[in-house]
Structure 1
């Protein structure tokens, strides 16, 4: 099976809920997706840039399943995000300090040039230059998938539109799917996975439904990273040869279990 290279951020996350819960955790889509893929049996590499504050990340025992060869450490601070959830479990306010992740586009282009045979997942988030990366993926003939983040989905979907019909899979939530269908004819898209919280996830092939899976009922403790966990699990299972229905069922189950676990603490501070 191809290695899955996940281009995106690894970050320090400040998460706030309307019930008063508030904490600082290790996050980022590249970490969540790659970790889920690795746990589902794939070789997965986060293609990310971290700063000195996360220098001990690769020493965390429960992250030893990841391929860290595509991680770059730079002098400065890692990306940091603050996310406020509303009572419906939707992020309604975000703020970001990108830090060294401004170097991610250049780093990712170099990784792609060296490893064109990997399967790529692109986390379409700022500060990535999404059109440049998608254009290079298409030029290289690489297989790839993509996902979006609702607060920035509108402009990034428009920027990504010319290349989305060449993606193997696109991952969106219900609100993002509505934006997607206003941007690209869904009949031109190979496969779109649409999630909708506790409601069934759908797999659409050229806009036609081909699979549906309902997540198991859980008591949610943490929402951040659930969609990323679904993405990584689905990719690993499909690339290993699982049928679409089986891969989707495994993915929604993994995402539901993720919501029932405590968020990952930040690693201990680096001391040179």
Structure 2
């Protein structure tokens, strides 16, 4: 079975909505790896956490993951405060990176161990040296972004994106992506757009779309990452991309209807 390493954050998240606030175990490396494992992949987050979150690696919710790519250091874990509007759109992120500031060096040491590497191009990671190493080794890789830092991260990653097997975006990120890299130079790109159909592009041409089912959202944090992890697991296990797109959309919708992995609030 193809092994998947996911470079990114594992964090203590505060998800603030107009009418509620949730404290969650989060981070893109966690959400993508969990979704991929549930979809049948051998998935390993590649992350650096503090000893304050070390106990979470032993929880039943994370039992299906390979934890060997997670480093635990004597430093506070990364913390994100995510603010959403009434439509569930992310409008602002405050971050205290803590242990995750060591992620770039850690990723460079670990990424060679996996058949496919997914790189979450989100701060504090410096994506350029990581992507350069993957491209130089001709190691299959994929990338994603987050809207609040997408323009800067796309600029940093742009020289290596034509080598990416998959690029995952939302509608705003897709616009920034294709402004930085000619769409025809990109092998496969997925673009989600809230409740509207998700689209898969190949060298700039739309080749398939899948509808998004509407549900009452309990928690939107991690839904896009669930899409990414599910799609990757499906295609790495041989599922055609059109079917993988549908599976990913269904998994993301199901994620919206669940509360996530709760943490007790802690002082910053």
Q: TM-score, normalised by structure 2?
A: 0.97
CA shift for structure 1 position 162: 0.4
The equivalent residue for 1:60 is 59
The equivalent residue for 1:71 is 70
CA shift for structure 1 position 231: 0.2
The equivalent residue for 2:181 is 184
- Provide the aligned C-alpha RMSD in A: 1.3
8 A contact 1:54–1:267 mirrored in 2: no
8 A contact 1:10–1:28 mirrored in 2: yes
**How many residues are matched?**
266
CA shift for structure 1 position 52: 1.2
Would you say 1:220 and 2:217 are equivalent positions? Answer: yes
Runs of 4+ more than 3 Å apart: none
Give 1:240-259 correspondences, 5 Å limit: 240-259=237-256
The equivalent residue for 2:3 is 3
Q: Following the alignment from structure 1 to structure 2, what is the Cα–Cα distance between the partners of residues 268 and 43? A: 31
The equivalent residue for 1:24 is 23
In structure 1, stretches of 5+ residues that fail to align are none
Q: Following the alignment from structure 2 to structure 1, what is the Cα–Cα distance between the partners of residues 66 and 265? A: 21
Change (3 A) 1:171 1:159: same
Q: TM-score, normalised by structure 1?
A: 0.95
Change (3 A) 1:131 1:229: same
8 A contact 1:57–1:267 mirrored in 2: no
User: Which residue, 133, 136, 150 being the options, matches 1:136?
Assistant: 133
The equivalent residue for 1:89 is 88
The equivalent residue for 2:232 is 235
8 A contact 1:60–1:267 mirrored in 2: no
The equivalent residue for 1:43 is 42
CA shift for structure 1 position 23: 2.1
